[in-house]
Structure 1
Amino acid sequence: METVQNRQQAAPGTLTAFARFVLCGGGVGLASSLAVAALASRIPWALANALVTAVSTLLATELHARFTFGASGRATRRQHAQSAGSAAAAYAVTCTAMLALQQLVAAPGAALEQAVYLTASALTGVARFAMLRLVVFARSRSQAAPAVRTALALHTSAARTGVPAGRAELCRAA
């Protein structure tokens, strides 16, 4: 009985979960950027990015299930599949960013390539956090739908008023 109660711990708050997400995802992301750079010297960059993205997504999903979002154990196949979907979108963004860099700069240095890759990864990381928190690792499916509706309502309201979503939320809280 005690084990069941320990496994059904409360989900961490948004700020705690985000800090854990940055720690886990950022660590995996930094290791991934080094791995992509190392592999890209031997195989085409897009293939290196695809391989590293696949491996890092599996690792990060497990870390997020166990540590970031306080799930009760390993990630399920459904959670891995949903996480892979958001990772595929992140892959497309990082590839697009790198292709754009190569179109804009004839011979970008390694530091510039890393900066562009990490910036694109960070932007997609924020979107992935929202997806993982609100959908993939939501405590129940019934909790996920209202949270997504609330996020969409904030975004829609902000778009109508011209106030950025984060600021609209702050204005309501004040």
Structure 2
Amino acid sequence: MQAGVLSCLAVWLPVLTLPWAVSNAVVTVASTLLCTELHARFTFGTGRRAGWREHWQSAGSAAVAYLATTAAVYVLHLAQPSPGLLSEQLVYLSASGLAGLGRFLVLRLYVFAVRRSQQTAARPPVPQPAGAVSLLAAA
């Protein structure tokens, strides 16, 4: 969510000298690289850097998000040829929020799910002390 708000603010910096779609692409690439690393290290509990596989899969979901946010702003411009900055921000932030939710689900259910199941399978079971009694067994 914070990345979406920062992207909303950041997309307007390069737009002063670049077309809107190019500005959106620059912000999308930068935020995708940063967020994939943060998701790998913290959100999904891998505890280490994202590998090439995660970055490529995340890039695919980011490409879809880029198309969605760019299309949303262009549809706004078709509907209203000279929208105000507030209208553009609202449309971009709404599309970015929906795309971000979709990306999060893809990362959670697909990109980082394989690694988590592999880590669980590779992790040895926690040894129980001799004579330990389970609460369920005692009940």
Normalised-by-shorter TM-score class: 0.7 to 0.9
Aligned residues: CA RMSD: 1.4
> What's the TM-score, normalizing by structure 2?
0.80
Secondary structure (helix, strand or coil) at the match of 1:86 reads: helix
Structure 1 gaps of 5+ residues are 1-25, 144-174
CA distance in 1, matches of 2:3, 2:97: 12
Deviations 1:23-79 (CA, angstroms, capped at 9, x unpaired): xxx222211111111211211000000011001100010111111111121111100
Aligned to 1:161: none
Could you say which structure has the higher helix fraction?
A: 1
Structure 2 gaps of 5+ residues are 121-139
Q: Is the radius of gyration larger for structure 1 or structure 2? A: 2
Q: Are the aligned partners of 2:7 and 2:31 in contact in 1 as well (CA < 8 Å)?
A: yes
Report the number of matched residues: 117
Aligned to 1:75: 50
Deviations 1:133-159 (CA, angstroms, capped at 9, x unpaired): 111111137x9xxxxxxxxxxxxxxxx
Runs ≥4 residues deviating over 3 A: none
The alpha carbon displacement at 1:129 in A equals 1.4
Q: Which amino acid aligns with 1:32?
A: S
Q: Once the two structures are aligned, what percentage of the paired residues are identical?
A: 54
CA distance in 2, matches of 1:108, 1:38: 18
Choose the corresponding residue for 2:3, options 7, 11, 28: 28
Matched, 1:135 2:101: no
Bigger relative contact order, structure 1 or 2, given CA contacts below 8 A and separation 6+? 2
